[in-house]
Amino acid sequence: MVFENDNNVLVAKRGGETLRIEAWGKNSLRVRATMLPEFTGPDWALSEPVTVGAEPAVKIYTKDYLEGEGYVSHQPHAEIVNGRIRAEVNFAGVISIYRDDSLILREYYRSYGGTISKESRCLKVVNREWKGIIGGTGYSLNLKFESNEGEKIFGMGQYQQPYMDLKGSVLELAQRNSQISVPFMISSLGYGMLWNNPAVGRVTFGRNYTEWIARSTRQMDYWITADEDPKAILKNYTDVTGHAPEFPEELMGLWQCKLRYRTQEEVLSVARDYHERGIKIDQIVIDFFHWTVQGDWKFDKTYWPDPKAMVDELHSMGIKVIVSVWPSVDRKSENFYPMMEQGLLIRTERGAAQTYDYQGDCVEIDPFNPRTREYVWNVCKKNYYDLGIDAFWLDNSEPDYGVYDFENYRYWAGPALEVSNMYPQMYSRIFYDEMSKEAGKKPVNLLRCAWAGSQKYGNVVWSGDVPSTFEAFYDQLQCGLNMGLAGIPWWTTDIGGFMTDDVKDPDFRQLLIRWYQFAVYSAVLRMHGDRGPYNIPPLDDRDWGGGYLQTGQPNELWSYGEDNFRSMKKHYDIRISMHDYIKSLYDEASSNGSPLIRTMFYEFPDDAKCWELQDQYMFGSKYLVAPIFKLNCFEREVYLPEGSWKLTGTGETFEGGQTVKVEAPIEYMPVFEKV
């Protein structure tokens, strides 16, 4: 290994590989390696200007290594220190990383000359395995780390599984409907690591080793930080990837939505009904197929004859309007051939030029191309924004491929295998970049997907089309907590789940109330869902336009019976009463990256019990929330950390440091206020 100190950056070269380790923010390092002649340049998620504290220290020296039969060899060795984090590189190129003086991460190496595990040195397993892609300039990369016994791992975005601790999990690094890859992890050992690579791949947090795989890439790139607790780690992370902007106060109440309001008059009648009942809704959502065909990005005039007048009336009631935009462009769209000719759509490597087949023969846009972003914005500005539409629901933002055959798709920025995970972020920037140019504008758009750094682009991210079951409800809490630890604080769900067979089923209605109670204590309170049975006839017999597709049953607060309406109205009032507190949580998210819903250990990192809990959470620092995840469950156990806690439903006070059993009638779920 040949080492070099390049202006306080540690550079090492061996066997055609160049390794570069440099200070990158407080107590943090960026680690890159490539087999190419030079690094490719993109900083990907590391988009913010960085500063470091004291000048980082690079040392290059000779170290004695004990080999077999007592033989000692003198080999080159190097290290770089930035505050509390230190990286050492040995003569074989194996990296070891320390928090203060404690080893927190070491690359896995089992080959001849290895100095870590001599008993398995003949396995010929290397720490960074590069395999050239035949016929191309890229590589597949397999990076391995030693597994730490007893370590817990959190973050990484959203995966539909009942596990908050990801140790032992295999996670696909790819975007799908309800799966969101945000590859930043937080360890119980006091460090956080960003896999700064938008390539499709996989990570395995195994008991024997951790393995990161990029199926096509030009360089290894990860960022690692070590600090006092998860809150400090998340601040370091958002300092280098971006902070969420200021959230508008006028959107902190109720968002009303369903699949789907089919006409202008339906939207207005719902809004008027809320207004007459004295219930303020902050935003109403106009869902898909209000358009002519996918990719026209405009209202079907048959059913939306005067959207400007509709928006004006909604604004007069203090209601913002958000409209659904999909990235799919049907061949029948007026924009298809102009966009295809200009190279503004995703390309296929073989076979038909089709990427999406729901309700049409579609190709999706390529938002990596700046000309695509300009084209789509100009159409949406003319047909929506100039009419007064306030925000955009950027659905299918993974994108949702007809077939997830990533090697068959190519973007302006390169093969999908190499960059696809960044698609939702680039899609959101079509709108955020232009909307944010307006003085005083605070763009907030709704997306189904995100990537590392998406928090800085005004993205409210929801958990996708999930089933209406208690099991799915439980999974959503794990999703939301890990999304928050991955730096995405504006996260929400469809209240009651998305897919409902029968809105009159009493079991579903109980689920709806329990889900609604949870949503009151989350970032965004949003009614949405596809409510069966599907016995509402279409508005016309055309096979296109705003009238032909089905609609679900009503989904307003009063749609589920008088008792349920009273319950939801009561909790709506609780939400409104917390306005100032919720604003403080959004301000904190902008300041230091703290999510609104937080794992117990985020607020109580010194309490070992809190690292084990995944069925309760903190809403900010003040409220401990214990949702009900089972049908006909009317009591549950709750762990209370040290301190005094008041059960808000009864006013009863409990001392912490114990597990208590409390009642949970359908009228309320257990919420404890720290006093």
pLDDT at position 55 is: 82
d(CA 167, CA 150): 9
pLDDT at position 117 is: 47
d(CA 189, CA 186): 9
Pairing between strand 445-447 and 459-462? parallel
Contact between residue 314 and residue 279 where contact means Cβ atoms under 8 Å apart: no
**Overall residue count recorded for the chain in this entry:** 675
Please return the burial class of 149, using the count of CB atoms within 10 Å of its CB with bins 0-12, 13-18 and 19+: exposed
d(CA 399, CA 417): 13
Known catalytic residues are 395, 398, 465
pLDDT at position 88 is: 97
For the chain, which residues make up each domain, given as ranges? 2-241, 599-674
d(CA 164, CA 332): 44
Residue with tokens 């038909």: 352
Structure token digits, residue 427: 């899609």
Low-confidence spans in the chain with pLDDT less than 70: 53, 66-72, 112-121
Contact between residue 286 and residue 323 where contact means Cβ atoms under 8 Å apart: yes
Pairing between strand 491-492 and 459-462? parallel
67, containing H or E segment: none
Contact between residue 570 and residue 584 where contact means Cβ atoms under 8 Å apart: no
Contact between residue 355 and residue 348 where contact means Cβ atoms under 8 Å apart: yes
* Angle in degrees, 0-180, between the axes of helices 579-592 and 562-577, rounded to the nearest 10: 60
Structure token digits, residue 19: 């390794």
SS3 68: helix
At the topology level, CATH places domain 599-674 in: Immunoglobulin-like (2.60.40)
d(CA 602, CA 621): 9
SS3 667: coil
Is cis: bond before 350, omega within 30 of 0?
no
Pick from 490, 452, 461: nearest CA to 597:
490
What is the homologous superfamily of the domain 2-241 according to CATH? glycosyl hydrolase (family 31) (2.60.40.1760)
Q: How many CA atoms, within 13 angstroms, populate the side-chain half-sphere of residue 255?
A: 31
Residue with tokens 């006013």: 651
Pick from 213, 217, 201, 212: nearest CA to 138:
217
pLDDT at position 39 is: 94
Q: How far is residue 555 from each of residues 445, 497, 514, measured CA to CA in Å?
A: 22, 12, 16
d(CA 420, CA 199): 6
Judge whether 2-241 and 599-674 match in fold: yes
d(CA 218, CA 213): 13
Structure token digits, residue 431: 């709108």
Which residues does residue 181 pair with via DSSP β-bridges, in sequence order? 157
Give me the DSSP letters along 253-301: SEEE--TT--SHHHHHHHHHHHHHTT--EEEEEE-SS-BSSTTS-SB-T
Rg of the chain over CA atoms, in angstroms?
Answer: 26
pLDDT at position 65 is: 74
